[in-house]
Amino acid sequence: MTYLPETRSKSKSYLEISFTNAFTLSMELSEILTVFMITSSRKFRLFFGRAGEDYRVSNAELIFAAADVSEQISTASKEASGTGNMKFMLNGALTLGTMDGANVEIVEEVGKENAFIFGLSADQVIEYENNYTYDPMSYFIHDQDIHNVVMDLISGRYSNGDTMMFRDLYDSLLTPKNAPRPDMYFTLADFKSYAAAQERVEDKYRNTSAWARSAILNTAHSGKFTSDRTIQQYVDDIWHLDKITVRK
């Protein structure tokens, strides 16, 4: 998910948000619900785009250049973070994400103070998976915000009164009905941390000089992700090829 620049009119002030990646449905929807939950005084314009035929280079050229925040929210340890976050970084967007995939390298380059990191670590996720100690129901029972948002999935609030539209999603978070275990992507465990990260985004966005500094530093530290460096590392570490001289 990416923020596009804030748009103002005489009657409205809102951030435009563009969903352009095919994230896990449970993470994407909880992300939307979090936006509604923590921004009751702000208005957001939501744009949804399929990662297939509608998402292409011509669209990316506009999105990467316009985005202020690059949301990369794949569950830590799943290595589901692709190269899009590097392109956003190159264009000055600040990363809001988990410590997964290329997000780890981005933070190593630019520093955590110039990104918004949230959620479980890869080690925590792996430990939960190995020991079967994760219980999403405990979050549902003991956290009122999470309880309210999850219940809204079957209340009809986001589906014009249809209480069954998101029933499978509700079940996937709390029961093993449609999967080996409930909440396989630890959505509820990361939920409050994500909400807190969104608040940090809003606070920093209001500080224009601090935001500009972080944006400039993201662009300045993106050199590691050039194709020249990447290919050379593949040559050295994976392919183990020797250089040859081509005679004219």
Compute the radius of gyration of the chain from its Cα atoms.
Answer: 20
Model confidence at 211: pLDDT above 60:
yes
When mean pLDDT is compared across 52-56, 57-61, 116-120, the lowest value belongs to 52-56
Relative to beta strand 69-72, strand 94-97 is parallel
Model confidence at 39: pLDDT above 70:
no
pLDDT of res. 82: 65
pLDDT band per the 50, 70, 90 thresholds, residue 149: very high
Buried b (16+ CB within 10 A) or exposed e, 35-50: bebbbeeeeeeeeeee
What would the pLDDT profile of 179-196 be if each residue is shown by its tens digit? 899 999 999 999 999 999
Tokens of 20: 């352009």
Answer for the pair 60, 87: CB distance below 8 angstroms, yes or no: yes
**Helix 187-206 / helix 25-38 crossing angle, nearest 10 deg:** 50
Relative to beta strand 2-8, strand 13-19 is antiparallel
pLDDT of res. 58: 85
pLDDT band per the 50, 70, 90 thresholds, residue 21: very low
Greater model confidence, 14 or 65: 65
Share of the chain above pLDDT 90, in %: 59
Q: What is the mean pLDDT of the chain?
A: 82
pTM: 0.75
Model confidence at 138: pLDDT above 60:
yes
State how far the Cα of 98 lies from the Cα of 102, in Å rounded to an integer.
10
pLDDT of res. 15: 40
Quickly tell me which residue has 């209480």 as its tokens.
Answer: 163
Model confidence at 61: pLDDT above 60:
yes
pLDDT band per the 50, 70, 90 thresholds, residue 197: very high
Answer for the pair 83, 103: CB distance below 8 angstroms, yes or no: no
* SS3 readout for 150-177: HHHCCCCCCCCCCCCCCHHHHHHHHCCC
Model confidence at 19: pLDDT above 50:
no
pLDDT of res. 216: 97
CA separation (Å) from 171 to 78, 176, 183, 191, 210? 22, 7, 9, 17, 42
State how far the Cα of 11 lies from the Cα of 8, in Å rounded to an integer.
8
φ/ψ of 164, rounded to 5, equals -105, -10
- Write down the H helix ranges in 14-56: 25-38
Q: What is the 3-state composition of the chain as percent helix, strand, coil, each rounded to the nearest 5?
A: 50, 10, 35
Greater model confidence, 243 or 124: 124
State how far the Cα of 223 lies from the Cα of 219, in Å rounded to an integer.
8
Model confidence at 205: pLDDT above 80:
yes
Cβ atoms < 10 Å from Cβ of 208: 9
pLDDT of res. 52: 45
